[in-house]
Amino acid sequence: MEGVSIENFRGEAEALEKMAHTAWRDEYGIDSYPNLYRPDYLCYLLQGVDDPRLVMAAYRGEEIVGFLLNLPRRMALDGKEYRAALSCLLVTRRQFFRQGLAQALIQEGLRRNQELRYDFTLFYLETGHRSSRLFRKLQGAGFPIERVKRMHVIGRVLDLPAIQASENVKSYEVLALKLWGGHRVPAGAPNPNLREAGAQDAAKILPLLNGHRHKVRLARIFSQEELVRELIQPPLARTLVFERAGEVKGVLAYVIIEHVGREKVPWAWINHLVWDELSFAERVSLLKTFLHQAFCQGCAGVVEWSKKVYPTSALYAARFVPYPRQVDMMAWRFRDDISLTNIPQVYEVQI
């Protein structure tokens, strides 16, 4: 494309957010979308980037017209550790749709990931959208792209009027929610075993998160520094812990994401939930405390994804409901001796 260059991101976060808003509004129409380009959330993600080559943007002169972020990862696949990247936030200015810019950004990102000696790249595709069609085309051309897992949304309403003001909610959906009781916010009953985590708790939380590598086929591996950076960054990212006799037995970590519909409304996205050692009643107590806290932070609802790494019955007891919005976790392999096809349980955040 004449006059367009792909280079390291120059840092103009506000211009990126504005460009992404126009592109996503064209994609979603009146439906809401998560504003993953909001400057405070982008800064939060960029804390984990240790090489400027991982943050790419396309420029036409001084104007930003495309963006792609690769987050470095250590992943365990079938118990063995690999270097990987989680590719996310791909967007191009609407004037460049169907002109090859998105594919050029993807190819440059993959080239850089190979240069950095990653073993594979993970990314998410929402079913039915432009990016899905692009990658199906690449997959059909013989590129080493595999579908890792399909996930759907599990959601919880906290502020129904706020959601109705922003989202295209049908009257029968409102009625069903009210009959289910999914519009009521649990009271924040005090529990001496529950509290908000601080940086000093990282060493206690770390074994619970990294224990996933022994439970599921594909799992993120954290360092203590990464854990603090991603889980304990209030008010954007917060973590609740459930303790017994001074030991952390349960963890719920979430991040606040702005959803943009007719209005801008914050939602709480659950990033990490570990509660294997908690009873059913303790799990429900943890959820109720979290839901009350998220509501007090102004969140209209909660989003979780069907990763299948923990028992979910307590979610439904707390009035979560499945929602027909799906994403596919995909992988682009750089090695022939590994396969990431159809992995039923995956421990990684959704971005």
In 3D space, the residue among 154, 153, 191 whose CA is nearest the CA of residue 318 turns out to be 154
Task: Please name every residue paired with 5 in a beta bridge, in sequence order, or none if there are none.
Answer: 59
Position 102 scores a pLDDT of 87
Dihedral sign, Cα of residue 130, residue 34, residue 221, residue 341: negative
Does this model's pTM top 0.75?
yes
User: CA 66 to CA 283: how far, in whole Å?
Assistant: 42
User: What percentage of the chain exceeds 90 in pLDDT?
Assistant: 73
CA distance to 3, 115, 222, 349, per residue, from 45 (Å): 29, 22, 15, 12
Which CATH number applies to 153-326: 3.40.630.170, 3.30.450.20, 3.40.50.300, 3.30.429.10?
3.40.630.170
pLDDT tops 80 at residue 29? no
**pLDDT tens for each residue of 163-183:** 998 888 888 888 888 887 877
User: What percentage of the chain exceeds 70 in pLDDT?
Assistant: 95
Q: Please give the residue that has the higher pLDDT: either 329 or 175.
A: 329
pLDDT band at 204 (very low <50, low <70, confident <90, very high): very high
Whole-number average pLDDT of the chain: 91
Q: How is residue 14 written in tokens? A: 């506000």
Shared fold status for 4-150+328-347 and 153-326: yes
Q: Could you please report the per-residue DSSP string of 35-96? A: -TT-HHHHHHHHTT---GGGEEEEEETTEEEEEEEEEEEEEEETTEEEEEEEEEEEEE-GGG
**Amino acid letter for position 195:** R
Q: Please give the residue that has the higher pLDDT: either 246 or 190.
A: 246
Fold of 4-150+328-347: Aminopeptidase (3.40.630)
Q: How is residue 223 written in tokens? A: 């360092």
pLDDT band at 2 (very low <50, low <70, confident <90, very high): confident
